[in-house]
Each structure stands twice: as C-alpha cells, then as structure tokens.
C-alpha cells in the first residue's frame, strides 16, 4: 500500500489523500462497509454557492461577503464528475443526486446531466439522476433539464406564508416564484415532484398542515424533514426539532393518513398516504429515528472530497488522485478501500455534545 497520506486541515474540515491499495482492480462489483451497507447513492455538490441564505443552512452571519467560497479552479470539472460517477456506478451506485449549494447556479449544469444520464448501473439500467433545488431558476431551466434526461426534481420550500418564507430564505424570495418553478417543472414533464420542508420549532411548525393541504391531490409529494445539526453554523439544539411523530399527528388530525410500505429498502422518507386516496406525504426522521443502519449514501464535495456521512468531519481527496494522473483502477480501488472501512453511524450516537463538534457544511458536501 502507498503510505504517504497527506492530511490538510482547512475551513472545510480535515482532508486526506486516500490510500491506493498495492493490488488494484478494474472497478466492478458492489462494495459493503463494516456494517454490511452497500454503496448505492452518490450526492454531488456541484457548487458551494447559493443565492439563498436560509437561516438554518447558510446563515448570513457566516456566509457573508468575507466567506471564501471555492475558486473555479478548485471545482471538479464536468469531465471529472462524470469520471467519478462512472467509477461509482461500476461499484453499484444506482442513484445520483445533484445538489449544493444551489445546483442550478452551476453554469450549463444540463450538459453534466446529459452525460450522467448516459451512464449505466451494474445491471445495465440508466443511472437514476435527480436534482434538489430552491427553484429560483427552475422556471427558466426546467425544459433544458428535462431535455437533458433528468429523471426527478426535488424543490425546497419551507413555508407557504410569504413573509415567513422571505425571512427564512433571507434574500426576500417569494413563495409565488417557487410555486411558479414547480409549475414550470410540471409543464416540462416532471412528475411526482417532491417538496422538501425542513420543520423548525417556533419558526414554521405552524405551517405544516397548510403545506400538506396545498399539495394534497396535486400529484406532488411533500416531505417534512426534521431539522438537523448539519455543519457548524446553524446553532442547532434538540429543542428546535419537531419530531416527525408530531408532524404526522398534526396532519392526521385534519386530513387522515395511513402509513404505507416503503418503495424500496433503505428509503429515507417514511411514507403516509391520504385515507381518501388523494396522494401521499413523507416524513424524514433523521434525528428522532436515525436510519444509519440502512444508509447507502456517499457525498462528493464541490472540490472532489468523498464523505461517507452527512455529519462527517473529514473527507477523502479524490480530486488529488484524479489530478495526479491516477488510473481508473487506482481510483476505484481507493474508493473501495474507503467504503470497506466505513463505520459511520452519527445519527445513532448524536448528543447535544456531538452536535457542537466541528462538521463540514451541507452546502459544500451536498444536502
Ligand atoms: N439549494 C438546494 C435547495 O435549496 O434545495 C440544494 C441544497 S440544500 C442544502 C438541500 C436540502 O437540505 C434542502 O431541502 C434544505 O432545506 C435541506 N437542509 C439544509 N439544512 C438543513 C438542516 N439543518 N436540517 C435539515 N435539512 C436541511
């Protein structure tokens, strides 16, 4: 094995150049970690920049004009991202989600999508490519995204109360413009659009029922997400979390819902369907019912560090391998070693104390 691990500590955490095993193999076959979890999903942050300053994600107090976003030369290029995606697909990844930051801010992102949707899974099926967006540019971009072959879109929207939403995104963006983006995506041919609402106690928990009611019968699926202690800048505390059980109780009291089977093993959202058959909602209980035991996700940061947990403190610098001319076999074998050694189960061991530990920001590793 190569032993020269270089460790770099910067504002984006502790990063090391991965080991390359002495005997490298062509990428192929699934990878299991120390707890038997396969590598199945990759989230890719295509930019660490965002045009929103959501108070719970990229607060203005931290992400201000002095914040050092990555310079362009540090970003993985589309060629580099496509190469990484092909390598992990050969290792069993079936789904890729583009995120950020705001992924639609990345210039010509549809050209990347076109290349990713042409890749195949181990079974020879097209890779499932999805994107999470704040929808600020969706009305303009939806037709190009559809034409590029994007399979699914998730839109974030934390309240239908315009004043409240403008205060949460902290850049005065209106609810009507997000809804316009959702309509444009539907008109472009995207179906079952998912709407993510992060619920924070005392901020938007009073808006849960209105959100469910608005999208009931629309064919879109609202997913209520427990507020998490990602990154180190949102001042998270357990008291701010509204447990999913409470969200289910609030919605059920107004519009009866019935728990439904998961679509596939390891699905993060718990599904509930309306008793009158008019659609479904989901709840993501990352805090109160950790799902680490079925977590099959890795994340690739904007500058090519691989993270094996959303709450990670350190990443594996794959870009250093790419930019030093390593072969596919070498990089794929390094990824294999990283995944085989993975032990992460942060949400199972979360305490108020771990929540205060230094973690990388979600905008950088991809939400
Ligand atoms: N800019 C895009 C967007 O707004 O959807 C993609 C990036 S954003 C980081 C991805 C998702 O993470 C959004 O739905 C956002 O609400 C969610 N998110 C951010 N911080 C969170 C937190 N502390 N807890 C739970 N979800 C969070």
Mutate to test the pocket of ligand 1, among 57, 226, 244, 366 (most ligand atoms within 8 A of CB): 57
Three-class secondary structure assignment of 239-285: HHECCHHHHHHHHHHHCCEEECCCCCCCCCCEEEEECCCCCEEEEEC
26: exposed, middle or buried (Cβ count in 10 Å: 0-12, 13-18, 19+): exposed
DSSP state of 180: H
Write down how long the chain is: 367
Structure confidence by residue, pLDDT tens digits, 123-139: 999 999 999 999 999 99
Mutate to test the pocket of ligand 1, among 156, 203, 204, 240 (most ligand atoms within 8 A of CB): 156
Rounded Cα distance between 236 and 238, Å, is 7
Rounded Cα distance between 228 and 45, Å, is 18
15, pLDDT greater than 80: no
User: Which residues are within 8 A (CB) of 64 and not within 5 positions of it... i.e. 6 or more apart?
Assistant: none
More confident residue, 92 or 351: 92
Structure confidence by residue, pLDDT tens digits, 145-192: 999 999 999 999 999 999 999 999 999 999 999 999 999 999 999 999
Structure confidence by residue, pLDDT tens digits, 320-337: 999 999 999 999 999 999
Ligand 1, atom 17: closest residue by C-alpha = 367
Distance 365 CA to ligand 1 centre (A): 11
Q: For the whole model, what pTM was predicted?
A: 0.94
Distance 6 CA to ligand 1 centre (A): 31
4, pLDDT greater than 50: no
181 phi, psi to nearest 5 deg: -65, -40
Which residue, among 288, 231, 286, 222, has the nearest Cα to 257 in the 3D structure? 222
How many other CB atoms sit within 10 Å of the CB of residue 294? Answer: 16
Distance 331 CA to ligand 1 centre (A): 30
Ligand 1, atom 13: closest residue by C-alpha = 156
Rounded Cα distance between 75 and 303, Å, is 5
Structure token pair of residue 12: 């984006």
Rounded Cα distance between 111 and 109, Å, is 5
Which residue, among 43, 112, 114, has the nearest Cα to 80 in the 3D structure? 112
How many other CB atoms sit within 10 Å of the CB of residue 176? Answer: 11
- Measured CA distances, 118 to 27, 252, 359 (Å): 18, 42, 34
In this prediction, residue 10 carries a pLDDT of 54
Categorize the per-residue pLDDT at 357 as very low, low, confident or very high, splitting at 50, 70 and 90: confident
Rounded Cα distance between 364 and 45, Å, is 6
How many other CB atoms sit within 10 Å of the CB of residue 159? Answer: 22
User: Which residues are within 8 A (CB) of 165 and not within 5 positions of it... i.e. 6 or more apart?
Assistant: 157, 158, 159, 173, 174, 175, 178
More confident residue, 305 or 17: 305
Q: Does an H or E element contain 221, and which?
A: strand 221-226
How many other CB atoms sit within 10 Å of the CB of residue 100? Answer: 28
Ligand 1, atom 12: closest residue by C-alpha = 367
1, pLDDT greater than 60: no
DSSP state of 76: P
Query: Of ligand 1's atoms, which has the minimum distance to the CA of residue 158?
Result: 16
Rounded Cα distance between 127 and 104, Å, is 20
For the residues 248-265, what does the mean pLDDT come to?
Answer: 96
Rounded Cα distance between 324 and 156, Å, is 37
């Amino acid at each position: 094995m190569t032993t020269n691990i270089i460790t770099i500590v910067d504002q984006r955490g502790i990063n090391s150049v991965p080991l390359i095993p002495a005997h490298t193999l062509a990428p192929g076959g699934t990878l299991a970690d120390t707890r038997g979890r396969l590598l199945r999903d990759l989230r890719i942050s295509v930019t660490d920049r965002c045009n929103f300053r959501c108070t719970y994600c990229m607060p203005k107090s931290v992400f201000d004009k002095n914040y050092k976003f990555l310079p362009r030369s540090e970003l993985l290029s589309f060629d580099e991202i496509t190469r990484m995606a092909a390598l992990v697909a050969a290792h069993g990844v079936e789904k890729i989600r583009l995120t950020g930051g705001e992924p639609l801010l990345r210039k010509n992102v549809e050209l990347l999508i076109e290349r990713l949707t042409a890749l195949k899974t181990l079974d020879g099926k097209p890779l499932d490519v999805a994107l999470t967006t704040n929808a600020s540019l969706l009305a303009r971009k939806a037709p190009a995204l559809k034409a590029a072959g994007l399979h699914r879109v998730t839109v974030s929207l934390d309240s239908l109360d315009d004043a409240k939403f403008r205060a949460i995104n902290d850049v005065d963006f209106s609810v009507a413009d997000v809804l316009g983006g959702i309509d444009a995506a539907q008109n472009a041919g995207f179906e079952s659009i998912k709407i993510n609402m992060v619920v924070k106690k005392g901020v938007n928990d009073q808006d849960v029922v209105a959100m469910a009611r608005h999208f009931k019968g629309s064919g879109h699926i609202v997913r209520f997400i427990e507020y998490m202690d990602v990154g180190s800048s949102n001042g998270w505390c357990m008291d701010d979390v509204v447990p999913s059980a409470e969200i289910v109780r609030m919605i059920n009291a107004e519009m009866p819902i019935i728990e439904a089977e998961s679509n596939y093993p390891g699905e993060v959202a718990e599904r509930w369907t309306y008793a009158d058959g008019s659609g479904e909602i989901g709840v993501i209980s990352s805090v109160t019912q950790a799902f680490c035991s079925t977590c099959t996700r890795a994340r690739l940061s904007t500058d090519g560090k691989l993270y094996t947990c959303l709450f990670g403190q350190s990443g594996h610098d794959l870009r250093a391998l790419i930019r030093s001319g390593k072969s596919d076999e070498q990089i794929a074998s390094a990824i294999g070693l990283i995944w085989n050694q993975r032990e992460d189960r942060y949400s199972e061991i979360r305490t108020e104390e771990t929540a205060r530990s230094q973690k990388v920001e979600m905008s950088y590793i991809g939400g």
